[in-house]
């Protein structure tokens, strides 16, 4: 795989990003230019050629100890070219949108075929391609761009005021709050995808996030709590959320942990609060349902379609269309419309998640929908979007009252999973002991240790208080925004790595 980087007029393009018009990419990569680049790739003997163009601008602000710790703006723009011949894929990228550079990048992407020198396959002076096999009229053009309250049009001082307001709310929660950190981020990404099969689509994605972290000081030492919100929205996000609620929740979590006692160790019933537990299922079974792992037979769910893989209470969905959630988009990064896929229904495995290449390999008609990439510098791969368990008909209170002894986990922390086995480890950041159907006292942070397929089969109650939470998913060195969700649910037994030996 080779990369092509520009030394041309990218500075001017980057300057334009801050005032992007919705059709800017359509001007930079018009159908006629896309046609010429794709024709050239086909002329090199490729079976499939794809253009992925991207313009992105980001803002980040952080407040620490009542002082601005960061106030940054960044942007990037570029084009990635994918060339596929048989089972071989070549990829190259450039930050130069000029035709000459795009043709050269295509040649580099196709240079896995060493039969000719790629530099000699086109006229570097004119870039002209003769006998085009793809016509502009062949392209299917679709463009979806919703109207947002553009974060770039909001004065930075107004964004800073949000951080200062949240900081005061957190500090005023009680006298134990010793430190507060608040961060704000927004991004606007425009993408255009064209390929030799006739796709020519454009999408605009605006995302905004806000996070408060508080530190409480007491007899229990220093304890940290956090709360965050992130949506595929513009600055109108702050018309939908309450800063005081977010800030005081972070402060409450930190303060509660000052009274925490050691968590029990060994296998105990676990109740996961709505929203927070979704990350466990994202990691413990979601990755195992991505078709690249299935094709490599590196997933415990290989060849399990139609089989019982979870309890009857489990219906697992991946949904890139879910309104305004963190993993929502109109088109995936291969130009296919976002989809809603039922992966597990009533405990029966129904489907896997596919990008184009894995969909083609499985000879599916409905390829794509889960092809995602971090930026134009990367190849797309199968990724989750918003992955969640459907809610049930029990109430949170009933599930707790029906649990004689166990642990209620109000918030999970980070974790890791072995996709091949389903084994996982997750940390808890807010948890309580359950005794005689009631929450008694808070517990110190501990680890959940278990196996995804086994946990799915041990779910015996699901609530009706469904909630989503945002996250960032890492895979093969790439990070993408995702949503996770579930209602309150109970697992009959998970190993808890606490320090108490009651």
Tens of pLDDT, residue by residue, the chain (502 residues): 333 333 334 344 444 444 445 568 888 999 999 999 999 999 999 999 999 999 999 999 999 999 999 999 999 999 999 999 998 999 999 999 999 999 999 999 998 754 444 333 333 333 333 334 455 555 554 544 455 789 989 999 999 999 999 999 999 999 999 999 999 999 999 999 999 999 999 999 999 999 999 999 998 789 999 999 999 999 999 999 999 999 999 999 999 999 999 999 999 999 999 998 888 888 888 999 999 999 999 999 999 999 999 999 999 999 999 989 999 999 999 999 999 999 999 999 999 999 999 998 888 877 779 999 999 999 999 999 999 999 999 999 999 999 999 999 999 987 887 878 889 899 999 999 999 999 999 999 999 999 989 999 999 999 999 999 999 999 999 999 999 999 999 999 999 986 655 5
Residues 126 and 272 reside in one and the same domain: no
- Residue 381 in any domain: the answer is yes
- Residue 260 in any domain: the answer is no
- Residue 393 in any domain: the answer is yes
The pLDDT value recorded for residue 130 is 34
Distance CA 454, CA 304 (A): 14
The residues, ordered by sequence, that sit 6+ positions from 491 with a Cβ below 8 Å of its Cβ are 269, 270, 271, 272, 455, 458, 459, 460
Distance CA 322, CA 330 (A): 10
Rg (Cα) of the chain, in Å, rounded? 25
The closest alpha carbon to 353, from 294, 281, 300, belongs to 294
- Residue 383 in any domain: the answer is yes
Structural domain including 85 reads: 10-58+72-148
Pairing of strands 48-64, 177-195: antiparallel
- Residue 202 in any domain: the answer is no
Residues 141 and 285 reside in one and the same domain: no
What pTM was computed for the model? 0.89
Domain boundary among 93, 120, 148: 148
Residues 317 and 457 reside in one and the same domain: yes
- Residue 165 in any domain: the answer is no
Distance CA 161, CA 475 (A): 35
- Residue 372 in any domain: the answer is yes
The closest alpha carbon to 283, from 384, 181, 377, belongs to 384
Q: How many domains does the chain have?
A: 2
The closest alpha carbon to 338, from 321, 355, 358, belongs to 321
Write out the E strands in 65-138: 67-85, 88-94
Residues 346 and 480 reside in one and the same domain: yes
- Residue 15 in any domain: the answer is yes
The DSSP bridge partners found for residue 483 are 386, 470
Q: Are 293 and 283 in contact (CB under 8 A)?
A: no
Domain boundary among 148, 170, 192: 148
Domain boundary among 107, 127, 148: 148
């Amino acid at each position: 795989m080779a990369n092509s980087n520009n030394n041309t007029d990218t500075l001017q393009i980057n300057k334009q990003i801050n005032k992007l018009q919705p059709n800017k990419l359509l001007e930079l990569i018009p159908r006629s230019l896309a046609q010429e680049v794709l024709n050239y790739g086909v002329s090199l003997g490729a079976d499939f050629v794809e253009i992925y163009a991207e313009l992105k601008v980001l803002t980040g602000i952080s407040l620490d100890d009542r002082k601005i710790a960061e106030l940054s703006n960044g942007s990037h723009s570029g084009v990635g070219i994918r060339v596929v011949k048989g089972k071989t894929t070549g990829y190259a990228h450039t930050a130069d949108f000029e035709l000459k550079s795009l043709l050269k990048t295509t040649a580099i992407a196709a240079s896995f075929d060493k039969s000719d020198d790629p530099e000699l396959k086109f006229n570097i002076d004119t870039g002209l391609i003769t006998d085009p096999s793809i016509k502009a009229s062949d392209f299917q053009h679709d463009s979806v761009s919703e109207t947002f309250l553009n974060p770039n049009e909001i004065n930075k001082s107004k964004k800073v005021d949000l951080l200062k307001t949240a900081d005061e709310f957190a500090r005023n929660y009680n006298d134990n709050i010793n430190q507060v950190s608040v961060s704000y981020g927004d991004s606007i990404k425009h993408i255009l995808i064209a390929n030799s099969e006739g796709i020519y689509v454009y999408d605009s994605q605006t995302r905004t996030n806000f996070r408060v972290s508080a530190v409480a000081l007491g007899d229990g030492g220093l304890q940290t709590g956090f709360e965050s919100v992130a949506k595929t929205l513009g600055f109108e996000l702050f018309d939908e959320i309450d800063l005081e609620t977010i800030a005081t929740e972070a402060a409450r979590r930190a303060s509660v942990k000052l009274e925490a006692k050691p968590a029990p160790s060994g296998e105990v019933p676990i109740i996961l609060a709505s929203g927070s537990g979704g990350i466990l299922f994202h990691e413990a079974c979601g990755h195992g349902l991505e078709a690249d792992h299935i094709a490599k037979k590196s997933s415990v769910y290989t060849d399990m379609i139609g089989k019982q893989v979870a309890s009857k209470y489990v219906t697992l969905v991946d949904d890139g269309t879910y309104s305004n959630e963190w993993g929502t988009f109109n088109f995936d990064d291969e130009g296919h419309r976002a989809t809603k896929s039922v992966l597990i229904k009533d405990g029966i495995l129904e489907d896997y998640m596919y990008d184009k290449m894995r969909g083609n390999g499985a000879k599916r008609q409905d390829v794509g929908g889960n092809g995602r990439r971090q930026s134009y510098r990367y190849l797309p791969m199968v990724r989750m979007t918003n992955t969640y368990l459907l809610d049930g008909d029990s109430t949170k209170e009933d599930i707790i009252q029906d649990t004689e002894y166990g642990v209620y986990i109000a918030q999970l922390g980070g974790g890791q999973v072995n996709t091949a086995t389903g084994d996982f480890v997750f940390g808890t950041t807010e948890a309580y002991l359950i005794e005689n159907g009631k929450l008694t006292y808070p517990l110190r942070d501990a680890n959940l240790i278990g196996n995804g397929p086994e946990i799915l089969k041990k779910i015996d109650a699901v609530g009706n208080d469904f909630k989503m939470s945002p996250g960032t998913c890492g895979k093969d060195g790439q990070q993408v925004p995702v949503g996770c969700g579930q209602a309150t649910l109970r697992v009959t037994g998970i190993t808890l790595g606490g320090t108490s030996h009651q």
